[in-house]
């Protein structure tokens, strides 16, 4: 995310630099009160890439065998934040070899040499909190085989960064960075000698933030599932550290954990990954299960919406739908115009997906990924259901969503072996007089999903707006399309008569997408955007397109499993992936 360029933000960054340089030169020492232990997990594949000198951050690859990770740091704020936060330490520790340790030690002490005096943009509260957590987590890995002088340098740097954080964590605006700053302050304060006085204010602030930022249904304003997961991990860390140190854990922190856990289960697909909506990705493999297991909370999602998402499940099939209006204001800086979009996963195999967040691949991809065409829903007349505001002079590239749907409805019902969602939004009502209504019905056995999409006028005023919209196009009908973005591992083929598309998963499972013939069916190129990749992955989308010529347009379609995964290759051989926290 780009830096805000307001006067207040520039002043805040200036004060950060002042405190960073003061802390970076402070005569302060510390030691560990208790032996630290790893509390974050990484990816072995990414760690091996780093060892080989392939530095992939935020969609940018630099090849530099033998180079320091700091040689590839960029002026790009997103890349700098990712590298300076030192989450890559998790990946090196996941590898755990001598080469991995050598890289970790070299790069950490290189950071101390280059930036330890406070002379870098990495000295901000959120990034410093994230970095402190990783350094402390993996201190034994970093210090193994080091002499007394190097150990003293490492501990002094920890003390200086903690001193900086103690002065600046309050200044971080409400965001995930604020959680990282407070959690980092608490973690460092409880782990390092002489820093305990800084703990209580941060704990009180975190408790208050949980009350104000975590909604009654366990959601957050951004509606970003992956961000909610990161917050839960920070709250788990804080709770564990306070409990270990025999300090009381404030009720609001425990309440937040109790509320977040079932909400994350509601946005968790059958394969254990998160819905990829509103700027979030599917999450690092294993991280969601680890976080849920750590909470000890076994509460299942209650019926209804969770953080604006609806969930349908049948046997090994999960369907997650964005069934609420997008976030507004500052919370929408990474939000998507994805109202009524859905994702479907069969067992361990994603089938229908969203394109994902393009933030890692530059501003153009970021904007495109936020628009309605990047989601599996209906779009009218080439217009997104919510709009990106024109670039604000106070921001370098961030844009909030505007013209959001003012009314989004969602009703659940069960019966006759079916789970049904009836939904509607009025995002196209002001401009075209049309309301998009969508009914999704999943069979109890998970083998069939049917869809019924409508574009309808509800009032006389709506009809007048619709007529005016047509008049502005010389009386032409208004084009619409329904998109079904496919995961890259899905092989798609059209029937000769265009009546259906056969979707084959790598497991051998086959799904058939059929429609009522009102629209035209076609296959088109698409992309799958995910962090950890050098570039977007190519894939396909099934598109049903037509024209709205009357006050009511209806398109019906279905997705049916026609061939099961062969038993010998079925993933895990179970009905659904096991959630360790429910064992």
The tens digit of pLDDT for each residue in 36-51 reads 888 888 889 889 999 9
Which residues does 496 contact at the CB level (< 8 Å), separation at least 6? none
Residue 5's pLDDT is 59
- The residue that leads in pLDDT, 399 or 255, is 255
pLDDT exceeds cutoff 60 at 385: yes
Residue 173's pLDDT is 87
Confidence of residue 583 (pLDDT cuts 50, 70, 90): very low
pLDDT exceeds cutoff 50 at 395: no
Q: How far apart are CA 213 and CA 224, in angstroms?
A: 13
Q: How far apart are CA 502 and CA 511, in angstroms?
A: 6
Give the pLDDT mean for 19-25: 81
pLDDT tens profile 152-195: 999 999 999 999 999 999 988 889 999 999 999 999 999 999 99
pLDDT exceeds cutoff 70 at 306: yes
Distance of CA 457 to the CA centre of its chain: 35
Give the pLDDT mean for 70-76: 78
pLDDT exceeds cutoff 80 at 302: yes
Q: What letter does residue 105 receive in the DSSP assignment? A: H
Phi and psi torsions of 445, nearest 5°: -85, 0
pLDDT exceeds cutoff 60 at 1: no
Q: Within 13 Å and on the Cβ side, how many CA atoms surround 59?
A: 18
Q: Which of 318, 306, 293, 232 is closest to 578 using CA atoms?
A: 293
Mean pLDDT of the chain: 90
Q: How far apart are CA 504 and CA 200, in angstroms?
A: 55
Confidence of residue 338 (pLDDT cuts 50, 70, 90): very high
pLDDT tens profile 350-378: 999 999 999 888 888 999 999 999 999 99
pLDDT exceeds cutoff 50 at 509: yes
Give, in order, the Cα–Cα distances in Å from 503 to each of 194, 489, 493, 508, 559.
Answer: 61, 10, 7, 10, 9
Confidence of residue 398 (pLDDT cuts 50, 70, 90): low
3-class secondary-structure state, position 395: strand
Element (H, E) at 515: strand 510-515
Give the pLDDT mean for 5-28: 77
pLDDT tens profile 148-158: 999 999 999 99
Q: Give the position of tokens 């099939």.
A: 317
Q: Which of 184, 127, 162 is closest to 29 using CA atoms?
A: 162
Q: How far apart are CA 57 and CA 75, in angstroms?
A: 13
Confidence of residue 391 (pLDDT cuts 50, 70, 90): low
The fraction of the chain above a pLDDT of 90, given in percent, is 74
SS3 content of the chain, % helix, strand, coil (to 5): 40, 25, 40
pLDDT tens profile 416-468: 889 999 999 999 999 999 999 999 999 999 999 999 999 999 999 999 999 99
pLDDT exceeds cutoff 90 at 568: no
- The residue that leads in pLDDT, 568 or 40, is 40
Residue 327's pLDDT is 96
Residue 570's pLDDT is 52
Burial profile 461-470: b = 16 or more Cβ within 10 angstroms, e = fewer: ebeebbeebb
Residue 495's pLDDT is 94
Residue 272's pLDDT is 93
Residue 390's pLDDT is 62
Give the pLDDT mean for 281-293: 90
Relative orientation angle of helices 199-213 and 176-191, to the nearest 10 degrees: 150
Confidence of residue 580 (pLDDT cuts 50, 70, 90): very low
């Amino acid at each position: 995310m780009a830096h805000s360029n307001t006067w207040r933000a520039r002043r805040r960054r200036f004060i950060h630099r002042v405190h960073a340089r003061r802390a970076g030169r402070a005569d302060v020492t510390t030691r560990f009160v208790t032996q630290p232990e790893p509390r974050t997990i990484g990816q072995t594949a990414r760690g091996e890439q780093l060892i080989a000198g392939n530095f992939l951050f935020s969609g940018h690859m630099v090849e530099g065998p033998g180079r320091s990770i700091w040689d590839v740091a960029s002026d790009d704020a997103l890349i700098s934040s990712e590298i300076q936060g030192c989450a890559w330490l998790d990946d090196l520790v996941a590898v755990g070899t001598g080469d991995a340790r050598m890289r970790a030690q070299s790069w950490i002490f290189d950071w101390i040499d280059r930036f330890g005096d406070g002379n870098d943009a990495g000295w901000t509260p959120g990034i410093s909190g994230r970095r402190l957590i990783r350094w402390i987590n993996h201190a034994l890995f970093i210090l193994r085989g080091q002499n007394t002088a190097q150990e003293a340098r490492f501990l002094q740097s920890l003390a200086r960064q903690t001193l900086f954080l103690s002065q600046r964590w309050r200044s971080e605006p409400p965001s995930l960075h604020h959680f990282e700053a407070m959690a980092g302050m608490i973690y460092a304060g409880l782990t390092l000698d002489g820093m305990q006085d800084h703990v209580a204010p941060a704990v009180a602030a975190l408790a208050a933030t949980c009350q104000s930022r975590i909604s009654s249904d366990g959601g957050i304003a951004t509606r970003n599932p992956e961000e909610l997961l990161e917050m839960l991990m920070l709250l788990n860390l804080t709770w564990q550290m306070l409990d270990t140190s025999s300090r009381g854990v404030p009720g609001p922190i425990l309440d937040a954990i109790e509320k977040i856990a079932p909400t994350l289960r509601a946005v968790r697909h059958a394969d254990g990954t998160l819905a990829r909506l509103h700027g979030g990705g599917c999450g690092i493999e294993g991280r969601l299960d680890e976080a849920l297991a750590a909470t000890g909370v076994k509460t299942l999602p209650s019926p209804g919406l969770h953080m604006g998402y609806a969930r349908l499940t049948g046997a090994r099939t999960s369907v997650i739908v964005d069934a609420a209006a997008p976030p507004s204001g500052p919370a929408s800086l990474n939000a998507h115009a994805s109202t009524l979009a859905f994702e479907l996963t069969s067992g361990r195999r994603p089938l229908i997906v969203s394109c994902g967040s393009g933030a890692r691949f530059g501003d153009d991809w970021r904007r495109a990924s936020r628009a309605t065409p990047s989601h599996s829903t209906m779009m009218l007349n080439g217009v997104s259901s919510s709009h990106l505001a024109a670039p604000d002079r106070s921001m370098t590239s961030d844009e909030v969503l505007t013209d959001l749907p003012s009314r989004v409805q969602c009703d659940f019902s069960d019966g006759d072996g079916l789970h049904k969602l009836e939904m509607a939004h009025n995002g196209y009502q002001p401009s075209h007089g049309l309301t998009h209504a969508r009914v999704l019905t999943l069979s109890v056995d998970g083998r069939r999903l049917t869809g019924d999409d409508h574009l309808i006028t509800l009032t006389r005023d709506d009809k007048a707006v619709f007529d005016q919209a047509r008049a502005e196009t010389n009386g032409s009908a208004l084009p619409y399309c329904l998109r079904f973005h496919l995961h890259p591992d899905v092989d798609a083929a059209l029937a000769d008569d265009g009546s259906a598309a056969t979707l084959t998963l790598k497991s051998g499972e086959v799904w058939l997408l059929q429609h009522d013939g009102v629209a035209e069916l076609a296959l088109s190129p698409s992309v799958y955007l995910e962090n950890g990749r050098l570039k977007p992955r190519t894939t396909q989308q099934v598109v049903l397109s037509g024209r709205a010529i009357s006050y009511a347009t209806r398109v019906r379609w279905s997705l049916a499993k026609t061939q099961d995964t062969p038993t010998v290759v079925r993933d895990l051989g179970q009905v659904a992936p096991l959630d360790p926290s429910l064992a």
